[in-house]
């Protein structure tokens, strides 16, 4: 498929963390791209100058219709949404509005505009606290917070809409996304982010006094929670492969876990940050947070089999090194360096 025959991909939330890496991966692979983002948590600097940016809301039907027509959009990658689990518990209506109701409006705009392919950024939080060591796509989905439910509802909408309209979809359930573009073109830029690796690097660079460890009594080898960390660029590559698969087989939809199938504990991650930064983090032991599973590890077999996906950055120290390089660049962008 030449770039002339490739449809434009509209990336919602393309100025945010994962969305901006998807934009880079699409451009690197020769796809025409446009972005819609309300810039509430995204950054204009994260979008390349030659990518059209529509500043607005994904629930704005008139704006979406205009973008689909102007850019000849053939596929949508949907990253826009709210992602902080404790906030979803405190303000569930915000999450059902931003993640569920607005996704419904976006899916409707896709159907009305004749957009044939839809890729949705879902989450391992739809599994809740699973009973198995490695979670596959058939593991029961039992969310334990509004964030997980808001994403699961969108998965269900996509399945129902695809059965009724000429649309196929890819649902990608992310485990713990980390790292930054290896060329330092983008990274995790959100102030006050809650991602462990981001927080630990900020502490290593003197931007935070300490790192909180929430719970040391989990049923894990060292007592701290275990998570499956995936490099954001490997995740972005999976989105491009999913798009190609959906176009190749219009009658097929795909639901896939995105992780490496290997877990690291909080202690192991902080030890790695110490190692990569050559600093000693000040660790503060605190109580468990509600709803944190002991361990959450993916089985990524389907992703590998269906798409031939092979991660390039499946190394914890590499993930941390790329995140560190981005954090230093970010200080310069903000004029702090």
Q: Which helix (H) or strand (E) holds 327?
A: helix 316-333
Task: List CB contacts of 123: < 8 A, sequence separation 6 or more.
Answer: 83, 147, 148, 151, 173, 174
Active site residue 147: yes
DSSP per position, 173-225: EE-EEE---TTSS-----TT---HHHHHHHHHTTSSS-EEEE-S-SSSTTSS-
Question: Any idea what the Cα angle at residue 182 is, between residues 178 and 186, rounded to 5°?
Answer: 70
Q: Rounded distance, CA 255 to CA 248, Å?
A: 16
| Active-site annotation holder among 17, 54, 127, 147 | 147
* Contact predicate 11/22, CB 8 Å: yes
CA distances from 153 to 102, 211, 292 (A): 12, 34, 21
Task: List CB contacts of 49: < 8 A, sequence separation 6 or more.
Answer: none
Tokens 């509004």, located at residue? 146
Which residues are catalytically annotated?
A: 147
């Amino acid at each position: 498929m030449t770039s002339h025959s490739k449809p434009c991909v509209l990336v919602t939330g393309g100025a945010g963390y994962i969305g901006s890496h998807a934009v880079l991966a699409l451009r690197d692979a020769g796809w025409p791209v446009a972005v819609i983002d309300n810039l509430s948590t995204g950054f204009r600097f994260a979008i390349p100058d030659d990518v059209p940016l529509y500043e607005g809301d994904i629930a704005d039907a008139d704006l979406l219709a205009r973008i689909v027509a102007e850019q000849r959009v053939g596929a949508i990658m949907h990253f826009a949404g709210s992602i902080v689990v404790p906030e979803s518990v405190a303000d569930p209506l915000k999450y059902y509005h931003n993640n569920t109701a607005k996704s419904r409006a976006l899916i409707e705009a896709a159907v009305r505009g004749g957009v044939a392919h839809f890729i949705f950024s879902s989450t391992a939080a739809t599994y809740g606290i699973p009973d198995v060591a490695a979670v596959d796509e058939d593991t029961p989905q039992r969310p334990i917070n509004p964030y997980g439910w808001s994403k699961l509802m969108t998965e269900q909408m996509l399945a129902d809409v695809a059965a009724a309209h000429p649309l196929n979809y890819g649902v990608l359930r992310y485990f713990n996304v980390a790292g930054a573009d290896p060329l330092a073109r983008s990274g995790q830029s959100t102030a006050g982010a809650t991602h462990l690796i981001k927080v630990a690097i900020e502490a290593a660079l003197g931007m935070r006094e300490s790192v909180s460890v929430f719970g040391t009594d989990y049923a894990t080898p060292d007592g701290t929670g275990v998570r499956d960390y995936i490099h954001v660029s490997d995740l972005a590559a999976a989105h491009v492969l999913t798009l190609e698969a959906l176009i190749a087989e219009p009658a097929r939809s795909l639901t896939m876990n995105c992780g490496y199938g290997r877990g690291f504990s909080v202690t192991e991650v902080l030890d790695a940050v110490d190692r990569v930064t050559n600093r000693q983090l000040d660790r503060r032991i605190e109580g468990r947070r509600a709803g944190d599973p002991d361990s959450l590890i993916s089985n990524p077999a389907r992703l590998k089999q269906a798409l031939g996906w092979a991660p390039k950055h499946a190394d914890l120290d590499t993930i941390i090194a790329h995140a560190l390089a981005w954090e230093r660049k970010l200080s310069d962008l903000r004029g702090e360096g």
